[in-house]
Amino acid sequence: MKKFFIILLLSFNISSLSLAEDYKLTKITDLENPWGSSFINKNELIVTEKSGKIKIINIKSKKISEVEHNLNFLDYGQGGLLDILFKDNFVYISYSENRGNWKSSTSIAKTKFDKIRLDFKNIFQAEPPIDSGYHFGSRLVIKDNYLFASAGERGQGMIAQDPTNHPGSIIRINLDGSIPIDNPRFEGNSNWLPEIYQIGIRNPQGLSLSPFDGKIYMSNHGAKGGDWFGEAKKGENYGWKILGWGGKNYSGIPIGPKWKPGFTKAIHYWVPSIAVSAITIYNGKEFSEWNGHALITSLKDQSLRKLIFSDLSNIKEDIIFRNKIGRIRDIKVHPKNGKIYFLGKNSLWLMEKN
């Protein structure tokens, strides 16, 4: 029996060592509170810093250049410059727009790419503007010439149940800001604002298009517990703040049930909260065994997690690492080699095979 346990212990240690040597993390450069990132070519990332700077980082030479811009943003609380997306020589950005008197909105702007100066024009403004520094969202994804964006509920709770207001919803617009003719407003939800695709969401900081099934997946930052990973579904309602998704108010008072019929059910929940942030559905060469799996990053838990969710009745979660690079705000997969890049609290990191 003693011999058996020694063999078991040795096997465990070898397995753990092997797992630890599967990847390595390398800090590329220091940044100041970075928020969003997007590859513009195989060697360069365009990155936002919440406090207002847009930078281009050469991941090979580590050279950093700052790009001028004209955004009227408000760096207040959780707001500032948020996500950024490069596509077909255009740049899309979500940000907390200064609407006057400390009021702001999760807004989206677009411009042609230029390495010297970006002159943005708004293509979406969440209405109404709100005096709050909380819960802006916000991520951007392009699918089939539609721009999907997540807009947080700004700490206003039940506003997420009101489709005559934008906060607390998933937005879908055409790439020029016009309205798709098959949005829910035109398919039986006549009281919905025309840009709204889905409602009932608290603070959605992750959005990703899967190249495997063509679906858009999202993460939502809950209250004290109740983070989740789920699918964006047209015309549906995730239930905030009727539902608490297993979480409580910060005062300790329960919010509501985890789920009930009539509302969209998330694929996976975290209770207690890990402060889930950005996500991606992995597709690449470097970690090809992860293809089709969701990679989930977190702030509070400072972890990278992998979800295997092809069988919804048997979801498997692995913690890849924790407490190695601090709070993780964004994750991007290199479009050519599949290596993974993270925005930490004040840094850019590379993850690759050992």
> What is the model's pLDDT at position 20?
46
> What is the model's pLDDT at position 21?
53
Spell out the domain ranges in the chain: 32-277
> What is the model's pLDDT at position 79?
97
What is the rounded distance in angstroms from the CA atom of residue 180 to the CA atom of residue 195? 8
> What is the model's pLDDT at position 267?
98
299 pLDDT more than 80: yes
7 pLDDT more than 80: no
> Residue 106 — φ and ψ, nearest 5°?
-75, 110
Of 345, 340, 306, the C-alpha closest to 329 is 345
What is the per-residue pLDDT across 39-92, written as a single tens digit (0 to 9) for each?
999 999 999 999 999 999 999 999 999 999 999 999 999 999 999 999 999 999
Mean pLDDT of 128-134: 97
What is the per-residue pLDDT across 197-223, written as a single tens digit (0 to 9) for each?
999 999 999 999 999 999 999 999 999
Mean pLDDT of 277-305: 97
What is the per-residue pLDDT across 166-197, written as a single tens digit (0 to 9) for each?
999 999 999 999 999 999 999 999 999 999 99
What is the rounded distance in angstroms from the CA atom of residue 146 to the CA atom of residue 15? 45
pTM, two decimal places = 0.93
Average pLDDT along the chain: 93
What is the per-residue pLDDT across 83-113, written as a single tens digit (0 to 9) for each?
999 999 999 999 999 999 999 999 999 999 9
Quickly state the pLDDT bin for 247 (edges 50, 70, 90).
very high
CB atoms within 10 A of CB 347: 16
CATH of 32-277, one of 1.10.357.10, 3.30.70.20, 3.40.710.10, 2.120.10.30: 2.120.10.30
18 pLDDT more than 90: no
Question: CA 290, 294, 297 angle in degrees (round to 5)?
Answer: 115
